[in-house]
A and B are shown apart, each in its own frame.
Chain A
Amino acid sequence: MKETNKAINVIRVLFIAVSMILVLFHFLNHSEKLGKPLMDYFTAGFLKETGAQNAVAAIYLDYRVFDTLFEALMLLVSVMEVINVSWAQKDVRQYSMDKELFNRKDNSEIVIRMVGAIYPFVLLIGLYTIFNGHISPGGGFQGGVILATALISRYLVWPNSDLDLVKLENFEKLLFLAIVAAPVFYIFMKIEPFYSLISRQTYMIFMNVLIGLKVFSGLSIIFYRFVFYEGR
């Protein structure tokens, strides 16, 4: 590695200082004072318009659904990048089932028993967070992460790679297609069989389930790739 020149360092610091002053100046002097019309718009009739009792769910699944699409895309791209990078390791040593069927020699008995006791409750909380995302705090992303935590705690008990990651990744891509398709048909093109609270709520639950499953499979792929394909 070459040592950087001192002049370049000075220029960098100067550049950062000048841009900081510029941004702060513009932010303090020319920022638009909006008041609260946007907030009033979002919080006034969200139950009637979207069928969600949780204002956050109303925003990310209805008013601002375009953002959600790109968030889902971001997770998909990062999962693909993790897979791509972890192949770069030349001597890939994949742990397989037939080597050691049940390798529990360095796992403590306490952890195994406790994880076994907690496991169903974690799954239950994850599913509850997904299905009640439009009513209570939570939603697809949070529920999916909790489900992924359950799968990761499974790794503590059963440290073998018996998951078919390729299938899981294809599943995730299909889910992304569904996540894009559902708002396009329902929100953007306004195709709905009948307008009612129930149809809106069905859409909310459907989207939350899709997002939850996608986040779950994405995070599990990232975790299992890191564990079994990276390092020694």
Chain B
Amino acid sequence: MFQTFLLTGLLVFASYAVFSDNIKRSVIYLGIFSLIMTLTYLNYNAPDVALAEAAIGVGISTVMYLVATKKFSIYDICYVNEDVEVFNDESISEIMSNVVRPLEKFLERTEGFEPQLAYTNHPIDKIMREDNHDFYIHRKGNLTYLYGNKSDRVFLDIVANMDKVIKDIKDIRVIYMDEVGKSEGDE
């Protein structure tokens, strides 16, 4: 009974750590996972391994992950294409060479941010209402809209270096979300 309880707890906290939205919360779930792992080792009569797991899993790796997340900043990008019916690997690899790779390279080399991309075909206003991304690329027909905040330094840099970041796309409109209504044409 106790064993089943422990093993289910392990599974539950492992999936919490994987599927959680927040990285810091994931780290804490991973710490709890290690704690239950310690109990499991004790249950299987391995106190030496349990001690090592407690010291490393709960102590060192949790603190190390927390310090790492503090040092590490993510730029959250959402790519929206409403024309695609089902978003699969092909439609991602289509934009891989002209949008995704240059953008990632630019963010990593110039800005020092870790890019994180999400792809979707849901309508843009629904996504803007429900999720909070830093930067949206919205494609509709031949037009490409870039949404971002004017106070965001990285977004301004992306707009300034647009020819480097987004290749082969001519019609680009830039929309500053904090100045709603006022839209600017570019290129």
Contacts and interface: CB of A to CB of B under 8 A. Distances in A.
Contacts of A137: 47-48, 50-51
B71 interface: yes
Contacts of B112: 232
Interface size class of A (residues with CB under 8 A): 20 to 34
Nearest to A106: B70
A223 B64 contact: yes
Contacts of B71: 230-232
A3 B93 contact: yes
A145 B56 contact: yes
A146 to B, nearest CB: 5
A129 B60 contact: no
A164 B170 CA distance: 56
B55 interface: yes
Interface in A153-205: 153, 155-156
A61 interface: no
A227 B101 contact: no
Given A3-B96, A232-B112, A145 B48 contact: no
Contact of A149 (B47, B60, B67, B93): B60
Contacts of A1: 101
B63 interface: yes
B67 A146 contact: no
Interface string A212-232: 000000010001001100111
Given A142-B52, A152-B60, A223-B63, 20 more contacts: A3-B93, A54-B48, A56-B48, A137-B47, A137-B48, A137-B50, A137-B51, A139-B48, A142-B51, A145-B52, A145-B55, A145-B56, A146-B59, A149-B55, A149-B60, A149-B63, A223-B60, A223-B64, A230-B71, A232-B71
Interface of B: 47-48, 50-52, 55-56, 59-60, 63-64, 67-68, 71-72, 93, 96, 101, 112
8 contacts: A54-B48, A137-B50, A146-B55, A148-B60, A153-B63, A227-B67, A230-B71, A231-B72
In order of increasing CB-CB distance, the 8 nearest A-B pairs are A137-B47, A149-B59, A145-B55, A231-B71, A142-B51, A56-B48, A137-B48, A146-B55
Interface of A: 1, 3, 54, 56, 129, 137-139, 141-142, 145-146, 148-149, 152-153, 155-156, 219, 223, 226-227, 230-232
